[in-house]
Structure 1
């Protein structure tokens, strides 16, 4: 390896996560809830770089860096890096830089996606060369969404979201997406506390259109009650697309389109109506699972 090659930092994307559907099935011990959710991922998100160093460190920059300035030492990226070093590379260090492009506390993975990106990135930087499945227990210890974000492939999550069944949703990878956030951070615990306690049934095994006709996000009603701007934004987006939903516990909403042009046109229309919102357009990542598992299932009607 040449000196110039050694000086090029490793890079990884913390892919934005969406919940195509999220059914809350009941309460569990220790204030957890049993859910069934269909995770999917966008081809863009936060950016993480790493270079060789004697110790672990994290610098945060980007549009939403100010929201994390006071929590660098407890940031999930650094926690993931420490766990990786302790378990798989004792004594190793890395200088990490997070370009924070996704809103904080917004229902699209955020810190979980960044932690997952750190695991993938350090696996390469430190030459560990292990399959992603090897890191699933470590990821689960960092948060319920981190295992799904580790693979960044469509999957049904059950329990707290950690138990994953990878699925291929027909037509999903052909879809373009608009993400829109009204600029209001939402605490997941606050939304779950407002859930009505009613089990509306399991996720349908169905195609993409039926997911929006038959499935739901059970956290939408309590999120809208807490932040009415979410409901206003969803209503406006539904004028542009039939495939619209809030992701996770909010406040980010998403709409799917058949073309990049339609997604960008809709983004422009939303910003014209709501100048303060954050938007991002992208494409859905392919559904095929690359994890070491029994292989992806297929959701079919």
Structure 2
């Protein structure tokens, strides 16, 4: 029986580390990353309809005003074309995440659209096929479809799900300046880095010690384009309870892994007081198996 309405979450994606290990002949960069998702994000609601439409709500809806097309509509058309059915659905995107922020917002929205419409249209599509469709939409869409902690390599298509990851408190901060991912990769210079060794996930202390020895290879390029990232780092690293501060993806969103939920909440309140124009969220990493 076909559902009348389906809602799918599109959580923020965090790169706990991000190594750029090479570049393919087609221009795509090769990556090695530990990806986790936060318990905050966008939301897609799909309802039965006679044609395809999209409305956008939420605090960042205005950033998408005037777009004739976006990843949500492209995902809907791609899935319908693959299933050889009309792309008929009324879609609502609740846009809670900043745009061009390095936390996978557009990719997560596309992945949530594919999941929601597969259920709305009662499609029995194999996971491998759904992942392949996601990759057509963007290199980050497959990991957002997986929606669980994983080791990511290749251009984003090689994923190893992780059975455990501590649900650490995390503070997300965006200085309010959009940053293009292609621009950051274009600005990156220097040699390519090495992949990380095997991940220690058994306990939070070991994971944190390991993460401190890793890096985000896009940090310098992002800082050159958006110097405000340096101010974000300074504020995060000065917060009581900050265990690790790092750029996520291509930025400009930064995250801080925090000692406990109280320090995350108090840190968020402090930052919103001194920097009211910043987007700040205290949340947690989503554990495996959700």
Both proteins in one fold, TM over 0.5: yes
Correspondence 1:238 to 2:237? yes
Residue number among 15, 18, 22 corresponding to 2:14 in the alignment: 18
**1:197 positional shift:** 2.8
Number of equivalent positions: 282
- Cα deviation, 1:239-273, whole Å, max 9, x if unaligned, reads 22122111000000011224322211111111122
Counterpart residue number, 1:229: 228
Conserved 8 A contact 1:50-1:95: yes
Correspondence 1:78 to 2:73? yes
2:211 & 2:236 partners in 1: Cα distance? 14
Counterpart residue number, 2:189: 196
Correspondence 1:138 to 2:139? no
Conserved 8 A contact 2:3-2:119: no
From the superposition, tell whether residues 259 and 186 of structure 1 become closer, same or farther in structure 2 (CA, over 3 Å): same
Greater than 6 Å deviation, 4+ residue runs: none
TM-score by length of 1: 0.88
SS at 1:141 equivalent: helix
2:41 & 2:135 partners in 1: Cα distance? 21
- Cα deviation, 1:100-119, whole Å, max 9, x if unaligned, reads 11000000001100000001
Correspondence 1:167 to 2:162? yes
**1:87 positional shift:** 0.9
Give the alignment of 1:143-154 within 5 angstroms: 143-154=138-149
SS at 1:119 equivalent: helix
SS at 2:288 equivalent: coil
SS at 1:254 equivalent: strand
Correspondence 1:40 to 2:36? yes
SS at 2:238 equivalent: coil
Counterpart residue number, 2:204: none
2:125 & 2:85 partners in 1: Cα distance? 16
Correspondence 1:280 to 2:273? no
2:49 & 2:32 partners in 1: Cα distance? 41
Residue number among 182, 199, 203 corresponding to 1:206 in the alignment: 199
SS at 1:97 equivalent: strand
**1:203 positional shift:** 1.4
Which has the higher mean CA deviation after the structures are superposed, 139-148 or 200-209? 200-209
**1:189 positional shift:** 1.0
SS at 1:211 equivalent: helix
1:181 & 1:214 partners in 2: Cα distance? 24
Gaps spanning 5+ residues in structure 2: where? 201-206
SS at 2:86 equivalent: coil
Correspondence 1:256 to 2:247? no
TM-score by length of 2: 0.91
Gaps spanning 5+ residues in structure 1: where? 291-301
